[in-house]
């Protein structure tokens, strides 16, 4: 069934406290999606971010980002006061996240909330149930974060040997201070899930499904590597043998050195890929559809010897292929997955994608890259794919139109039959071209609907600093914009079939009336 949605990171939502969160603005965006005739909200990875602020380099692939916890909700719950929150500095520019200010102020607010939470004995039962249900990943994550705090934020590879190597005796005598710090991090994850469940339930009620994003790799400095070093290509001292990257190409003469630790696929296969299955299962607690970044790494991955300064001396090695996805399917059923199959793709990757049945990706900007025979041109699209105008790693469509040469711009204009020289109108024609694609699903970043230039770009790969900051300011998502999106969604056959609202039972109607009377009182 044809559908469409909007790529809009949680961090980019407007809010009063420096970064988007699970506040009323998230619920209001669900209303916007519904009114615009959309079926999907795509978000970026949910993990807690560290140095560099990238959601693709997280301290845990299982945990949620505490920055997304709504302080407004904590105020409503009596865990914070309005005065306490407004007294803190979360940054001055509502259009960009100030991660330095967030780091200083957000945890102060969460500490105050945690202190009151501990005093509210009536809430501890739900909290303890959450801790017990998630102990398989939560305990390791909270211990890792507590030790990281004790070690002034240093990566675990720089901790003293007993803690670096998880010596059992050292772990057993960590003491009450560490225990209390661990509970503070448990509280964060409890609040994160409590609030996200509310937002997700509201999305489902309005016919909106969530598309989430997970990186294929985890960060070296993470609870995942520290607690499970046996899963990675480490030596006896838990130092990486090889790390991830990609080889030299037309864009980079020395390749790209990502530095992520590589999986020991032989070990993972031996134990039935349990960790990967649990990872996907956890993602399903966040999302309805999972987009897996760097899908080709499951076919072959590029291994660069640890310590190399470039990716020139790496080698391609065989990945798990369909064996992993068969195990996932056997354990979890038919998980809805989107395969990020961008970049240089070999026949064996195409074969893996075909056998998996997962939809791949078509980025419309790539269709006009100097070659009039690009594989991304819409007439080459198939139904089982997802078409994007651009992704979080691309320029905004307006920024891209402004930056390409005259030949490519003229070809794009002729192809999409745009008569406009105004870049704003050109951008909307480009969006229409994505919507009219035969692809089952069309996703457009919110920046493109707002016709933003590259000042609103989310990420510039291989550029350190200045990424992941852009936010929507209040008032930009108007009824007129929703109506315009609704119309192109209707014209190109992507409107969802919304279920009729269920009639309230007499008992529910009575409860609703009592609630309304209480609110009036």
Question: Cα–Cα distance between 303 and 298 in angstroms, integer?
Answer: 13
Instruction: Yes or no: say if 227 and 235 are a contact pair by the CB < 8 Å rule.
Output: no
Instruction: Yes or no: say if 217 and 319 are a contact pair by the CB < 8 Å rule.
Output: no
Those residues whose C-beta lies under 8 Å from the C-beta of residue 107, and which sit 6 or more positions away, are 66
| Residue 482 parent element (H or E) | helix 479-491
Instruction: Report the residue count for the chain.
Output: 521
Instruction: Yes or no: say if 385 and 440 are a contact pair by the CB < 8 Å rule.
Output: yes
Helix (H, G, I), strand (E, B) or coil at 100: helix
Residue 31, CB half-sphere, CA atoms under 13 Å: how many?
A: 8
Token pair in block for residue 400: 């891209």
Q: Which of 15, 8, 67, 6 is nearest to 43 (CA)?
A: 8
Instruction: Yes or no: say if 60 and 71 are a contact pair by the CB < 8 Å rule.
Output: no
Count Cβ atoms below 10 Å from residue 519 Cβ, excluding itself. 7
Backbone dihedral angles phi then psi of residue 449, each to the nearest 5 degrees: -65, -30
Q: For strand 360-363 and strand 315-318, is the pairing parallel, antiparallel, or unpaired?
A: unpaired
User: What is the four-CA torsion angle of 356, 358, 363, 366, rounded to 10 degrees?
Assistant: 10
Instruction: Yes or no: say if 69 and 195 are a contact pair by the CB < 8 Å rule.
Output: yes
User: What is the four-CA torsion angle of 312, 315, 316, 320, rounded to 10 degrees?
Assistant: -130
Question: Cα–Cα distance between 463 and 210 in angstroms, integer?
Answer: 29
Question: Cα–Cα distance between 116 and 367 in angstroms, integer?
Answer: 55
Helix axes 274-286, 176-205, angle to 10 degrees: 60
Instruction: Yes or no: say if 5 and 41 are a contact pair by the CB < 8 Å rule.
Output: yes
Query: Which residues sit opposite 2 in a β-bridge?
Result: none
Token pair in block for residue 185: 């991090």
User: Which residues are tagged catalytic?
Assistant: 293, 340, 393
**Tokens 């059923």 label which residue?**
333
């Amino acid at each position: 069934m044809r559908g469409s949605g909007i790529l809009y990171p949680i961090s980019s939502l407007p809010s009063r406290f420096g970064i988007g969160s699970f506040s009323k603005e998230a619920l209001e965006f669900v209303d916007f999606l519904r009114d615009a005739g959309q079926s999907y909200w795509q978000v970026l990875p949910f993990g807690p971010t560290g140095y560099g602020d990238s959601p693709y380099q997280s301290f845990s692939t299982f945990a949620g980002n505490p920055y997304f916890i709504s302080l407004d909700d904590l105020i409503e719950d009596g865990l914070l006061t309005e005065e306490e929150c407004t007294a803190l500095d979360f940054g001055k520019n509502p259009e960009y996240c100030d991660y330095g200010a967030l780091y200083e102020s957000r945890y102060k607010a969460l500490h105050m909330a945690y202190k009151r939470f501990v005093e509210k004995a009536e809430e501890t039962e739900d909290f303890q149930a959450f801790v017990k249900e998630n102990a398989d990943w939560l305990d390791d994550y909270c211990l890792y974060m507590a030790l990281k705090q004790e070690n002034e934020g240093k990566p675990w590879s720089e901790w003293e040997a007993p803690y670096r190597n998880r010596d059992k005796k050292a772990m057993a005598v960590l003491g009450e201070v560490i225990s209390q710090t661990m509970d503070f991090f448990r509280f964060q994850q409890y609040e994160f899930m409590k609030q996200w469940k509310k937002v997700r339930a509201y999305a489902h009620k309005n016919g909106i499904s969530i598309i989430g994003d997970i990186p294929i790799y985890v960060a070296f400095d993470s609870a995942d590597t520290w607690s499970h070093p046996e899963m990675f290509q480490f030596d006896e001292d838990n130092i990486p043998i090889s790390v991830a990257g990609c080889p030299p190409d037309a864009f980079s003469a020395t390749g790209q050195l990502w530095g992520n630790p590589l999986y020991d696929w032989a070990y993972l296969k031996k134990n039935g890929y349990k960790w990967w299955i649990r990872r996907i299962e956890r993602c399903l607690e966040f999302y309805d559809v999972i987009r897996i970044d760097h899908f080709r790494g499951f076919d072959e991955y590029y291994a660069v010897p640890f310590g190399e300064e470039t990716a020139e001396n790496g080698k391609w090695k065989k990945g798990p292929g369909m064996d992993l996805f068969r195990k996932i399917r056997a354990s979890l059923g038919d998980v809805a997955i989107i395969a990020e199959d961008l970049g240089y793709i070999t026949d064996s990757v195409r074969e893996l994608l075909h056998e998996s049945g997962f939809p791949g990706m078509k980025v419309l900007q790539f269709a006009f890259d100097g070659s009039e025979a690009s594989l991304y041109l819409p007439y080459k699209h198939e139904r089982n794919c997802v078409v994007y105008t651009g992704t979080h790693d691309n320029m905004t469509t307006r920024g891209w139109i402004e930056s390409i040469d005259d030949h490519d711009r003229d070809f794009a204009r002729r192809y999409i039959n745009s008569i406009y020289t105004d870049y704003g109108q050109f951008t909307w024609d480009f969006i229409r071209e994505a919507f009219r694609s035969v692809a089952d699903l069309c996703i457009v970043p919110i920046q493109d609907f707002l016709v933003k230039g590259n000042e609103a770009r989310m990420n510039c790969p291989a550029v350190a600093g200045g990424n992941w900051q852009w936010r929507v300011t209040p008032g930009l998502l108007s009824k007129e914009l929703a109506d315009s999106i609704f119309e192109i969604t209707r014209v190109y056959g992507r409107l969802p079939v919304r279920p009729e609202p269920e009639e309230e039972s007499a008992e529910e109607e009575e409860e609703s009336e009592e609630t309304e009377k209480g609110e009036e009182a």
